[in-house]
Structure 1
Amino acid sequence: MKQSMLLRYGAIGLMLFALFFGAGNLIYPAFLGLYSGQQFWMAVLGFCLTAVTLPLLGVVAIAYTGTEDAESLMRPVSKHFALFFSIALYLSIGPFFAIPRTGATSYSIGIEPIFGSSFLVKVLYALVYFGLSYWLAIKPSKMVERIGKFITPALLAVLAILVVTSFLHPAGDFGPAHNAGEGVGLAFADASLVAGLIQGYGTMDALASLAFSIVVIHAVRNFGVKENREIAKVTILSGVIAVALLAVIYMFVARIGATSQSLFDFDGQTFLLNGQVIDGGHVLSQASLHYLGSLGRAVLAIIVFLACLTTSTGLISACAEYFHKICPRLSYVSWASIFTLIALSLYFIGLSEIIKWSVPVLYLLYPLTIVIIFLSLAHKSFAGDRRVYQVTMAFTALAALYDALSAFSAMTGLFTLPKAVVTFFTQTLPLGEFAMGWLPLAGIGFLLGYVWHLFAKEK
């Protein structure tokens, strides 16, 4: 009986891994490895801090506090802020960005190179991909069985083929580190740890951890576990299994990128393929072609399809669960249908557009998410004083809002920020040049809030 339960909990861990592991979890470490070269270990360390440690802490925070979603976790700041933040988070990791990105990425990397880019192919693939995602998501009680027991092992088996082959027939040695452009791109050679941290944002897993936890908790309850303490224990154990697998795969995929520089042209600033600037998808595509020949494209297509499908399924389920909770007039299935149709529509604008428009949102939401996770874990040290939450989040939001507006301004050209503001956030504020100025501001906010808490306690 005990062994049976352990197997079930292992299946939940595999399910959580599969929910986290989307195409971004392949593309970003491959790109990071390509540019970091000989410094790839330091870059991977930074990547794992934001793409492995933070998702685990997010799961732990949900389990530790006994909450089920981001809104409950944010409520100590304020009720209205918690609702606003949660809606923004679920829409971002759901129908507006992450779900359509999974479809667009799997099409761009796995399908287009084989079947072409005709509109008919794109439509047919969308119907198959989003249809499967929807079918898996509308029966959440079956999600562990369908994903944890079948799809995840298949994903790992196919990915193992690519990794093993990369060791047997490496494309080359570890190349030198190169910067990948201006701003944050300068960190690849000059501060590879910071480059890894920023690239880890792209996976969106720290955001998703607050949403996926409700899926895991419901899966645990379906196994007959009712006590909150036991639910938290199993949820955390599942999170450890999931992120351990993620960390191992990130190291292997980054290594593939770091040894693949010889497969591309280098113009002194960027790596090119047929004269075009490349991304992590090109790295994996060319590496697969090198390691496995024409079979490589098919192997990569299967890997990306399975990785994206599981993530899309989990996101549809998590978003439908949350919006059904705050608006029960619509059933879970109705919300899942709405989000699937929205994602299907946005899929057609293309991968580059989806990624581009998601950047300002990530810069805004990621720092707030990281800080609320740490505040939740440190809750007892300041007796859950709302003032500590509010001051810390306010200071964090200043830098996060600046980075979001700066990215939006550069992207659209609709407005320019005052020069004094730009100078402060990019030159005066430590780490501001790497879009991480929120770190020192969050620290200052926490100290001020904690001092306020101590004075209020004495009075």
Structure 2
Amino acid sequence: MPNTKDTLVTTFALFSLFFGAGNLILPPLLGFQSGNWWWLVALGFAMSAVLVPIMGILAHAKLQGTIYDFGKKVSPKFSLVYSLLIYVISVSLPSPRTAAVTHEMAVQPFFNTPALLSSIIYFSLVFIFVINRSKLLDILGKFLTPAIIFILLLIIVTSFFTLDFNFGATEITNPFSGGILEGYQTFDAIGAVVVGGVIIVSINLKSDASFKDKKTLVRNAGWLAGLSLFIIYTGLILTGAMNHNNFELNINRIELLTGLSKQSLGNNANIFLSILVSLACFTTAVGIVTGTADFIKDRLPKYKHAYLLTAVLGCLLGIVMGQFNVAYIITVAFPALMFIYPITIILILMNVLPEKWASPKVFKSVVITTIIFSIPDFMGSLGNWAPRKEYFEWIPLSEYRLGWVLPAVAVFVISNMVKKGRDF
């Protein structure tokens, strides 16, 4: 059985790999806009940004492989295409976004330097950590995560004891589904299939424990990391909601987080916030680039420089994209998320389910259905390029951009009924 120290170190490492730019800047504004419906928004956000990602870690504990193993029941070709798509998205959007957030919140307030310079320095440091991946678990779990959690709790607890529980009216049309969709922007479901593999490889590098012990370790660490994320997210959403009347209604994400920090931490807010942002963003970028390099190395075992070359390319792409502002990266990411996130959620859930409910035929049917019904939601997110709404309004929940949910559930139930009928 894994000891308590290993479980805590793995828990902290998981938390830090999950908790990046989006996790930090999204919840406060979501709470600020949710008003007295903050709790319903928090539940929706927790569904897509906590529960599903932790299910992803549980799936990794069960499979103990790479992201490629998540889609093998559909077909090897599908799994390869899906894996490559996930890694391309990860190194192109959430990883560079961490550099953009770090520049805007931790560098710009102190130094009048260009974003490109910040991005170059940032991903140079990321590269150093990535090529020292054998030490990654201990560095993240023992040193960086405790600092992140301490500063976050300081902001939340200070607000909790100094503000009145007065909330304004909600500005969100559909609080629960709005929370779910905002949770997409954390990239945590995608992060689960990416960083879960990083954790598995890291454990294998430093331990020769049995399959069962490693499964127990990852499962326990996953639940503890999920509980920590839920507490932090709910605290940040509540903090934003309690400040509904203290800031202008058109405030952006970064301005609100900066304002909340100054309100909670006083004159030292900029220093504390800079440390928090830098650590939270940095650990996520390291996890994404490491996971991508691990995958390419695994797919190209005969090429001894595969890991190094992938790390270099991942960091170079991060430098190029990281110089853009945060709002732009979030806008660009949304259509991609509307397509890939539902597929990722279904792959996670289907891999967690017992084999008797997720046979290869059932698995394939549900995934294909999800892909088909994700296309209208994806097309509807294209702004000026989106087709007219009446083309897809016949799909249940399409008005909430969750048109894939009921078809996937229906196919899952019908496929299992047909399978059960054939077994008799």
Q: TM-score range by the shorter chain?
A: over 0.9
Residue 397 of structure 2 contacts residue 403 of structure 2 at CA under 8 Å; is this kept in 1? Answer: yes
Q: Tell me the CA shift for residue 124 of structure 1.
A: 3.3
Output one character per residue of 1:375-406: Cα deviation in whole Å (capped at 9) or x when no partner.
22224224x53221222112211221111122
User: Aligned equivalents of 1:250 and 1:281: distance in 2?
Assistant: 16
- Select 1:242's aligned residue among 213, 225, 239: 225
Output one character per residue of 1:332-383: Cα deviation in whole Å (capped at 9) or x when no partner.
122111111111111123322221111111111111111112222224224x
Output the amino acid matched with 1:111: V
The equivalent residue for 1:268 is none
The equivalent residue for 1:444 is 410
Output the amino acid matched with 1:447: V
- Select 1:225's aligned residue among 200, 208, 229: 208
Pair 1:41-2:39 in alignment: yes
SS in 2 for 1:380: coil
Higher alpha-carbon deviation: 14-23 or 107-116: 107-116
User: Aligned equivalents of 2:28 and 2:363: distance in 1?
Assistant: 37
User: Aligned equivalents of 1:14 and 1:260: distance in 2?
Assistant: 29
The equivalent residue for 1:110 is 106
Output the amino acid matched with 1:433: E
Higher alpha-carbon deviation: 439-448 or 337-346: 439-448
Alignment of 1:296-445 (within 5 A): 296-328=269-301, 329=303, 330-382=305-357, 384-408=358-382, 410=383, 413=384, 415-417=385-387, 419=388, 422-423=389-390, 425=392, 427-445=393-411
Pair 1:286-2:265 in alignment: no
User: Aligned equivalents of 1:241 and 1:379: distance in 2?
Assistant: 22
User: Aligned equivalents of 1:346 and 1:84: distance in 2?
Assistant: 23
**Unpaired segments of 5 or more residues in structure 2?**
none
- Select 1:165's aligned residue among 147, 155, 158: 158
Output the amino acid matched with 1:331: A
User: Aligned equivalents of 1:207 and 1:174: distance in 2?
Assistant: 35
User: Aligned equivalents of 1:389 and 1:440: distance in 2?
Assistant: 16
Output the amino acid matched with 2:106: G
**Unpaired segments of 5 or more residues in structure 1?**
181-185, 266-270, 273-277
User: Aligned equivalents of 1:250 and 1:145: distance in 2?
Assistant: 25
User: Aligned equivalents of 2:27 and 2:39: distance in 1?
Assistant: 11
Q: Tell me the CA shift for residue 416 of structure 1.
A: 4.6
Residue 220 of structure 1 contacts residue 234 of structure 1 at CA under 8 Å; is this kept in 2? Answer: no
The equivalent residue for 1:275 is none
Output the amino acid matched with 2:31: G
Output the amino acid matched with 2:331: K
Q: Tell me the CA shift for residue 8 of structure 1.
A: 2.4
Residue 68 of structure 1 contacts residue 214 of structure 1 at CA under 8 Å; is this kept in 2? Answer: yes
Matched-pair identity in %: 27
User: Aligned equivalents of 1:71 and 1:423: distance in 2?
Assistant: 37
Report the number of matched residues. Answer: 422
The equivalent residue for 1:183 is none
Residue 168 of structure 2 contacts residue 245 of structure 2 at CA under 8 Å; is this kept in 1? Answer: no
The equivalent residue for 1:257 is 240
Output the amino acid matched with 1:150: F
The equivalent residue for 1:71 is 68
User: Aligned equivalents of 1:148 and 1:327: distance in 2?
Assistant: 29
Q: Tell me the CA shift for residue 108 of structure 1.
A: 1.5
Higher alpha-carbon deviation: 309-318 or 218-227: 218-227
Residue 141 of structure 1 contacts residue 219 of structure 1 at CA under 8 Å; is this kept in 2? Answer: yes
Residue 189 of structure 2 contacts residue 341 of structure 2 at CA under 8 Å; is this kept in 1? Answer: yes
User: Aligned equivalents of 2:290 and 2:124: distance in 1?
Assistant: 14
Q: Tell me the CA shift for residue 157 of structure 1.
A: 2.0
Q: Tell me the CA shift for residue 247 of structure 1.
A: 0.9
Residue 32 of structure 2 contacts residue 244 of structure 2 at CA under 8 Å; is this kept in 1? Answer: yes
Output the amino acid matched with 1:179: E
Output the amino acid matched with 2:394: T
